[in-house]
Amino acid sequence: MNIKQVLTGGALLVSSFLGAQNNEVLLTIEGNDITASEFMGIYNKNNVEIQSAEKKSIEEYLELYLNFKLKVQEAEVQGYDTAYSFVNELDGYVDQLAAPYLVDSQFTEDLIKESYERLGSEIRASHILVKIPENPSPKDTLEAWNKMQVIIAKTKTETDFSKLAKEYSDDPSAKDNGGDLGYFSAFRMVYPFESAAYNTPVGQISKPVRTSFGYHIIMVVDKIPARGEVKAAHIMIVTNEKTSDEDATKAKKKISEIYAQLQSGEAFAKLANTYSDDRGSAQNGGDLGWFGAGRMVPKFEQEVFAIKETGQYSEPFLTQFGWHIVLLEDRRNQGSYEEEYDRLAKKVKGDRRSLGSEHALVVKLMNEYKVKVNAKAKEAFYTFLDSSYFQGSWSSEKASALSAKVLTINDKVYGKKKTVLTQKDFAFFLENRMHKQKAVSIPLFVDQEFEKFIDYSIISYEKSVLALKHEDYRALVTEYHDGILLFEIMEAEVWKKAMKDTAGLEAFYESHKNEYIWEQRLDVKMYICDTKENAEIVLKRVNENVEDSLIEREVNKESELAVSLRIGKFEEGQEPFIEGVEWKKGVSLNEVNGNFVVVSVLEVIPVQNKELGEVKGMVTSAYQDELDRLWIEVLRSKYSFTVNQEVLNSITE
């Protein structure tokens, strides 16, 4: 179990009730008052309809809430809230919670609208890349720029873009695909690349665009209306560059035999479950879920988008991953802006394109908080910063004599005094970001870092007043604070204790073992055959006590699908292939759902208790529940609490 499960699962969440409904004290725990408003906020947040709730349901919920608060109280008494691990984890969650408040909402709205418009079409493009090192010097950047200019000049005389890509591109795949990226839409490429592609007319080459990879030029080959998304399933037989010729031939034969069975009316899901090497999807009938352009390799997308009608499937085709047959299960087009808004908002906020939104907020906050920046103060660092910085050995002590103001925040609305940052603060900022890297021009580096320092400082100030500005944010921080404490103390007092207390677990199992029973079972081998003729051969060989490997080798000589072996112990109703089999030792041939199955019953296992090892997970869970119940009894006797019955009555009437 993790903190996310605690905060979104059955545990109670702490939050403030935003619509002040009843500020009278409902519950007091060790002198700490909890109002009816706070409790009802929790009640509502856990999706309980208060209008239709009965008095009993609210009272029961109050009991759960009281247990939760007592556990949090115990965690604080034990000092969990001061532990480094807790503080560090909470800080991480606070950063996540603060993120939506530290962006410019209008900037984000524009990105959402832009992404919606771009998703209405697909671009097919090729590119040529000139790489730039991760931490480039001005020389590196200039060399890459000059190389790109040479390539651009060649595009004026060479009409075959793919030929240039194969010769000059630093993208390794260009040697094979000539720079062709296939069709893609929004969110499939890094944002600067995506923007350049969508802003370049079909048949033309973009201006150089810089991304984290380097400089690109993009040849836009085609632009088509978006084909939407498809829901597909596939059957895959794996091959790759390491596959031997013999195994490659067997794989091609196997996919052809599967295709023949599809054409004869066999169910796609059944064949996928039985034969597909993609076991992640095979257990769901080969289902791959929904995807759009740019998600799969081009050949796979080409095949699935070419299928005209849902329910139809492709012929076998080969990709770098192996042989596939793909079934088109459904198709959908982009919805209206309103319908797509929430999904796109989530994608935009999780994408690097949203980073510009933070700087846009900084610009607004500089005016709101009357920020003054002394840019001249950075120039002293042109001297105090030296080559040792790029070796990771520079110290802010070298700038200890500097004290000029760098940034002043005059905001007084939120009760904070004027905030002044000096050159020393900038020096500490530089030192904290220091790491070994390639040396670059110091003045240029200082200028870039100074801009980051200003943005960082203003965002940090805004973060420090978020709880004062936004009640919902304050409630979320409280929620996570208490949720982490709950997780930590539950892990110590219940979850880990149950797993470590071997003797206690065994004793609990012994006192409850009659709750864990195996019904009568069959211990069987099942030989699943494609034809009755093959099943009869298998039946004969099993009765002759021939080894399974020899049976499979004989029967699968012509087809890899002729016989498959499964072994297991099953209760009645657990395994379709043994339906109708007599519950006694012996061998029989049965027809089940179009398959001919030879079932060898090795043993009829009588009703018996499940061994602890067989149900350890279930027993451990039940033991944890028992430990939790006993612990709550201790907490209720350890801490004082009172419920204001009059207030409780007022919210349950």
Residue 10 lies in a domain: no
Q: Looking at residue 279, what is its pLDDT?
A: 85
Q: Compute the distance between CA of residue 166 and CA of residue 153 in angstroms, rounded to an integer.
A: 16
Indicate whether 128 and 175 sit together in one domain. yes
Residue 414 lies in a domain: yes
Q: Looking at residue 145, what is its pLDDT?
A: 94
Indicate whether 211 and 283 sit together in one domain. no
Residue 19 lies in a domain: no
Indicate whether 526 and 603 sit together in one domain. yes
Count of structural domains, the chain: 4
Residue 648 lies in a domain: no
Radius of gyration of the chain (CA): 33
153-159's contacts with Cβ under 8 Å and 24+ in sequence apart are: 155/205, 155/217
Indicate whether 586 and 604 sit together in one domain. yes
| b/e 537-559 (16+ beta carbons within 10 angstroms → b) | bbbebbeeeeebeebbeebeeeb
Indicate whether 273 and 293 sit together in one domain. yes
**In this structure, are residues 598 and 589 in contact, taking their beta carbons and an 8 Å threshold?**
yes
Residue 245 lies in a domain: yes
Indicate whether 195 and 256 sit together in one domain. no
- Total-model pTM: 0.54
What's the CATH number where 245 sits?
3.10.50.40
Residue 561 lies in a domain: yes
Residue 497 lies in a domain: no
Residue 246 lies in a domain: yes
Q: Compute the distance between CA of residue 599 and CA of residue 26 in angstroms, rounded to an integer.
A: 66
Q: Which helix (H) or strand (E) holds 36?
A: helix 36-45
Cβ-based neighbours of 264, under 8 Å, separated by 6 or more: none
Tokens (6 digits) for 241: 């560059």
Choose among 289, 308, 293, 311: nearest CA to 228: 293
The residue from 279, 311, 332 where one domain ends is 332
pLDDT tens, residue by residue, 362-400: 999 999 999 999 999 999 999 999 999 999 999 999 888
The residue from 285, 311, 332 where one domain ends is 332
Indicate whether 220 and 234 sit together in one domain. no
Q: Which residues of the chain have pLDDT under 50?
A: 1-21, 48-55
Indicate whether 216 and 247 sit together in one domain. no
Indicate whether 200 and 249 sit together in one domain. no
Indicate whether 133 and 186 sit together in one domain. yes
Indicate whether 240 and 304 sit together in one domain. yes
Place of tokens 């004793």: 507
Q: 3-state class of 210 per DSSP?
A: strand
Tokens (6 digits) for 189: 């490429």
3-state helix, strand, coil split of the chain in percent (to 5) is: 50, 20, 30
Amino acid letter, residue 46: N
Q: Which domain holds residue 563?
A: 517-609
The residue from 225, 253, 285 where one domain ends is 225
Q: Looking at residue 411, what is its pLDDT?
A: 78
Q: What is the phi/psi pair of residue 421, to 5°?
A: -110, 140
**In this structure, are residues 474 and 481 in contact, taking their beta carbons and an 8 Å threshold?**
no
| b/e 161-185 (16+ beta carbons within 10 angstroms → b) | bbebbbebbbbeebeebbbbbbbbb
Indicate whether 141 and 187 sit together in one domain. yes
